[in-house]
Amino acid sequence: NNGGFILNLAGLPDHDFIKVSFDLYIHDGWDGDSKGDSIIVEAPDLWKMKVDGDEYINTTFSNTVCNGVFCLMQSYPHNYPFHNNPKTGAARTDLPGVCHFKDIPGGTTLYKIERLIKQKKSTVSIEFKDLLLQSNSADPLCDESWSMDNIVISVLKK
Residue type, 132: L
Q: Report if pTM > 0.85.
A: yes
Instruction: Report the share of the chain in percent with pLDDT over 70.
Output: 87
Give the model confidence (pLDDT) of 43-86 as tens digits: 689 999 999 999 999 999 999 888 878 888 999 999 999 999 99
- Residue 97: which H helix or E strand, with range? none
Count of the separate structural domains present in the chain: 1
| Count of beta carbons in the 10 Å neighbourhood of residue 101 | 19
User: CA 57 to CA 60: how far, in whole Å?
Assistant: 10
Give the model confidence (pLDDT) of 113-147 as tens digits: 999 999 999 999 999 999 987 666 666 667 889 99
Range of the domain at 20: 4-156
CATH code of the domain containing 72: 2.60.120
Calculate the dihedral angle through the C-alpha atoms of 84, 148, 127, 51, rounding to the nearest 10 degrees.
Answer: -70
Strand partners, 145: 27
